[in-house]
Amino acid sequence: MEDDKAKSKNEVMRVDQNHGDEQQQPPLMALNHVSRVCKNVEESIDFYTKVLGFVEIERPPAFDFDGAWLFNYGVGVHLVQSKDHEKLPQPHNLDPMDNHISFQCEDMNAIERKLKELNIKCKKRTVEDDKNGSVIDQLFFNDPDGFMIEICNCENLKLVPAGSLGKIMLPLDRHNPPIQVQPNNNNNNDHIHN
């Protein structure tokens, strides 16, 4: 029974497009976090928690600089206090072809309403894929420091490996780290494992 548990914790679904051509794959599991340098950590915490639903989590004390760690949806956002505001992106027109991070969404209308309620300027776009008959809705907006964020229903698109993409690795149950469900004031080891 223990072997079955250990085996299931390390399961990864592999989609091999090389048809027998073995290549050494790096032992990666999932995106862990994105890091954002910000003018004001507290303002950014407020934005990412209220607008995007992230939860602030404890940072290891070894990080002796101003910042914060946020987590939700299987990914972290690490905020770092800027020492030089001039290096931050300048607010500009929302351009879907520019650098951004994208979050998949179940209810695009709810997100659009929330952005309107919070007076957050956004750019809405719909992309139709005639070949597959898929429609993708996208909303683009900036965080307080000008970093662009996309909200989309990209799950409408089927993942189709192109050319020499190789092996696609989809983590089945290791994507999220354990989450403590009890306050940290006791030594109980109650955690949620996915």
Q: Which positions are annotated as active-site residues? A: 150
What CA–CA distance (Å, rounded) separates 62 from 35?
17
Q: Degrees (nearest 5) of the Cα angle 34, 37, 40?
A: 125
Helix (H) or strand (E) holding 149: strand 148-152
Helix (H, G, I), strand (E, B) or coil at 191: strand
- Could you give the CA distance from residue 55 to residue 39 in angstroms, rounded to a whole number? 20
Give the span between the Cα atoms of 92 and 94, in whole angstroms: 6
149: its two tokens: 């964020």
Decide: 103 and 149 in contact? Cβ < 8 Å.
yes
